[in-house]
């Protein structure tokens, strides 16, 4: 999975473009499955931050699969506090 991202300097927001690898046949047809999503970092408490994922355009299925994979990768720091 390929993910490109752009950070916003003024807000705690990341815009990402995720593309699913395609088969040779899909590439010949110039078909790509992907989505553009925004990730906002929201302060919940003094020591906790919440990530808010929202799909801007593209495949809903690919968006949910991408968020599921990101949640699994971030599970070690879920509900963690920083000092």
Kindly report the CATH number assigned to the domain that includes residue 16: 3.30.310.80
Query: Quick one: average pLDDT of 1-15?
Result: 72
The verdict on residue 34 lying in a domain is yes
Domain around 67: 2-77
The verdict on residue 83 lying in a domain is no
**Rounded (to 5) percent helix, strand, coil in the chain:** 25, 45, 30
Q: Token digits for 62?
A: 């690919």
Is 0.85 surpassed by the pTM of this model?
Answer: no
The verdict on residue 82 lying in a domain is no
pLDDT tens digit string along 33-77? 889 999 888 887 777 788 899 999 998 998 999 889 888 888 887
Q: Which stretches within the chain are classed as H helix?
A: 24-28, 60-73
Residue 12: per-residue pLDDT: 82
Residue 37: per-residue pLDDT: 92
């Amino acid at each position: 999975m390929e993910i490109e991202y752009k950070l916003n300097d003024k807000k705690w927001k990341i815009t990402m473009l995720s593309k699913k690898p395609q088969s040779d046949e899909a590439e010949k047809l110039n078909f790509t499955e992907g989505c553009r999503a925004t990730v906002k970092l929201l302060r919940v408490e003094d020591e906790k931050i919440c990530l808010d994922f929202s799909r801007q355009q593209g495949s809903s299925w690919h968006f949910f699969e991408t968020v599921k994979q990101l949640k699994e990768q971030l599970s070690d720091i879920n509900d963690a506090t920083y000092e």
